[in-house]
Amino acid sequence: MNSRDFYDDICAIVREETKWLKHYSAKVLDVNDNLKMGRVQCAIYEFNWTDKQMGIWAWPREKHSISVPIVGAWVELYFMNGDPSRAVYIGSSWESYAGKTPVKNYDGPTKRVIFEDPNSKTKNIKYDGSLLTINDGTESFVLGTTFKSYLDQLKTWMDAHAHSGSGSGPPASPSPTIPTILSTEIKGK
């Protein structure tokens, strides 16, 4: 065996023994996780895992603050402690497989779940692009403008019927001004 063959053999052994210890750029193939835990199915081109039959399901590495990437996005994927059955991903990668940085750094608005209770599939807050849904509420939502209008009318009625110092009954001060109760941040209908 010549030295070149020996060197090639050593490189092959190192490559095989360390492949589960490296980080890879992986392309997201599927985000429909049947466990509803933020897992994504990924293609790793270095392993020739290029389609859904070969792709691996990876868990999100960020707990409690994940943003599931979209299909076609690139993520950083690695294997916990070199265990091939423990694939995890970290967010969305800047680079594409070709190693180029995208021109823009913002994908634009997305349709995302804002909060999902891990213990109950019915307790969540989600935005689907047109409607914000808050599930598992037990009280009715109060329409701020309608409620403020009602309070203004009630105050006017109370002030008109208050005893201001003459007539029967003790004198009374006008009712206090209604404070600003309408949010400029939260809107609903």
Q: Where are the domains of the chain?
A: 3-107, 109-138, 142-189
Quote the mean pLDDT of the chain: 76
Percentage of residues of the chain with pLDDT beyond 90: 15
Helix (H) or strand (E) holding 109: none
Q: Which of 40-54, 83-97, 112-126, 138-152 has the highest mean pLDDT?
A: 40-54
Global pTM exceeds 0.85: no
CATH number assigned to the domain covering 3-107: 2.40.50.140
Q: Which two tokens stand for residue 144?
A: 């701020």
- Name the residue with higher pLDDT: 81 or 159: 81
* DSSP secondary structure, 57-97, as one string: EEEESSSS---PPPTT-EEEEEEGGG-TT-EEEES--SS-T
Position 145 scores a pLDDT of 79
Q: Does residue 24 carry a pLDDT above 50?
A: yes
| Look-up of token digits 């994927």 | 77
d(CA 112, CA 127): 6
